[in-house]
Structure 1
Amino acid sequence: MFFYLAFIAQASLGGLIAITQLNGALANPLRVGVVTDIAKGLGIDIGAAALFAFLYYRENKIKNAQMAKLSRVENLSNLKLRVDERKIITVSEFRGLARLVILAGPSSFIKEAFELSETFTEQLIERGVLAVPFCTNGNTPSFEFDETEETKELTKKRRRLWQLVPDLTPEWSEYLSLQLDGHVRGSGVAYPPWNAFVAQLPLVKGMWSGLLDGMDGRVL
């Protein structure tokens, strides 16, 4: 971008010089023969200045978009989550440990998403997915877990999947899904695609855990 500005300045200076020379040539009948050459040089300078101005504008627009994205990710990473009555941690502390799926909507939406996730509980836990329910209407839903002996292990995993609660809720406002490295994987207006998470996200166990995260397809 520095060089773009330098080229714009150079072309603009050349254009000003060419305009001065062109005025002098037009005023002097003896220099009429060089008017065409001066005009060509002026055209080249104007074209060069316009080209580098466009490239600078495009590069600056891309930079601003990247900065906005980084700022959004940074703000998201600073949001706080309550694990239990005594422990509160930030989103960034889950980096490398879990993939957070943040759901925002009324309590009815959260409860429906909770029920839809039941079939995929074990697979989601194996892939490091943790749900973060954020109720936009202020009514925290009550999750009902099966407490029978036959489903004891599944219930334990479901409680783990849905154990996180947003702290300082006014700072939470979007439904987002994070990659294991902390980057935003995708966003949308719908129930979370639990089946797509199970199909596309790699397991978090083993030596390849998290290595290819972000290269494992897109959840739509």
Structure 2
Amino acid sequence: MFFYLAFMASAGLGSLIALTQLIPALGNPARAAGAAETLKGLGIDVAAVSVFAFLYSRDRKASDAQVARLTREENLSRLKMRVGDRVVPVAVSELRGSARLVIVAGPAEFIAESFRRSKPFLKDLMERGVLVLPFPTDGNTPALEFDDSDDIEQEDDAEIRKKSRRLWQLTPVLTAEWAKWLDEQKKMANVTPDSPVYLSLRLDGRVRGSGVGYPPWQAFVAQLPPVKGMWTGLFDGFDGRV
């Protein structure tokens, strides 16, 4: 971007010099022979200024968008939540490297239906380190209950059952701050304030994806690698473009 500015200044100076030469040439027939060459040079300088101004503007917008995205993610990382029955809340940033957070925001009925749709994939989601934060926007408490018909309840491993229940046991703290953050994201994405949405994070805490409607649980299972075994190592967290 520095060189863009330098080239714009150089071309702008060339344009100014060309103009000072062109104006007298147009008024003096004796110097009219060089006017065409001067006009050609002026056109090149103007074109150069236009091209570099476009490139500078494009990179500036991209840089501003990146800074805005990082700022939003940093603000998200400071938001607090409670894990299960723990009294002391934790920040979203404390999940980095250990869990993939999925935020489900909407009316209580929408969250309950999202929960129901996640049931066939609970074990697979658990293996991929997914934790879900339900955020009811209507002030009601969604009914999130496991029943005996769930496949997960038929597992012999009690530890799997326990961890699977924890998938939906995150609770937002200071809900006004969560609501403000979500409203800002919807406004930037041109989404209506009352639209139910989901947002998923990578292991490194960066936003992996978002959308209007129910979270694509099956797609998460298909796309995300397990957090243990052969997938643990140098590239942890790089599980999708931001």
Question: TM-score scaled by structure 2?
Answer: 0.82
Q: CA deviation at 1:147?
A: 7.4
* Counterpart secondary structure, 2:133: strand
Q: CA deviation at 1:97?
A: 0.3
CA distance in 1, matches of 2:217, 2:53: 47
Quote the residue 2:187 is aligned against. Answer: none
Contact 2:224 2:239 in 1 (8 A): no
Quote the residue 1:192 is aligned against. Answer: 215
Change (3 A) 1:37 1:48: same
Q: CA deviation at 1:109?
A: 1.0
* Counterpart secondary structure, 2:143: coil
Quote the residue 1:26 is aligned against. Answer: 26
Q: CA deviation at 1:13?
A: 1.1
Contact 2:129 2:226 in 1 (8 A): yes
Contact 1:200 1:217 in 2 (8 A): no
Contact 1:147 1:155 in 2 (8 A): no
* Counterpart secondary structure, 1:101: strand
CA distance in 2, matches of 1:50, 1:150: 68
* Counterpart secondary structure, 1:117: helix
CA distance in 1, matches of 2:240, 2:48: 43
Change (3 A) 1:25 1:176: same
What one-letter code is carried by the residue in structure 1 that aligns with 2:210? S
- Indicate whether 1:159 and 2:165 are aligned: yes
Quote the residue 1:81 is aligned against. Answer: 81
Quote the residue 1:108 is aligned against. Answer: 109
Count matched residues.
Answer: 218
Q: CA deviation at 1:35?
A: 1.0
CA distance in 2, matches of 1:217, 1:57: 24
Moved more, 2-11 or 97-106: 2-11
Quote the residue 2:224 is aligned against. Answer: 201
Q: CA deviation at 1:212?
A: 5.2
What one-letter code is carried by the residue in structure 1 that aligns with 2:101? L
What one-letter code is carried by the residue in structure 2 that aligns with 1:161? L
CA distance in 2, matches of 1:150, 1:32: 94
* Counterpart secondary structure, 1:186: strand
Moved more, 128-137 or 73-82: 73-82
CA distance in 1, matches of 2:86, 2:228: 29
What do the CA deviations read for 1:165-201 (whole angstroms, capped 9, x no partner)?
A: 1111122226210011111111111221212212221
Q: Which residue of the other structure, out of 163, 170, 180, is the alignment partner of 2:176?
A: 170
Q: Which residue of the other structure, out of 181, 199, 204, is the alignment partner of 1:181?
A: 204
What one-letter code is carried by the residue in structure 2 that aligns with 1:11? A
Q: How does 1:25-174 map to 2 (within 5 A)?
A: 25-83=25-83, 84-146=85-147, 153=158, 155-172=161-178, 173=182
Contact 1:146 1:155 in 2 (8 A): no
* Counterpart secondary structure, 2:229: coil
CA distance in 2, matches of 1:80, 1:207: 32
Q: CA deviation at 1:206?
A: 2.4
Change (3 A) 1:19 1:150: closer
CA distance in 2, matches of 1:32, 1:144: 89
Q: CA deviation at 1:45?
A: 0.9
Quote the residue 2:16 is aligned against. Answer: 16
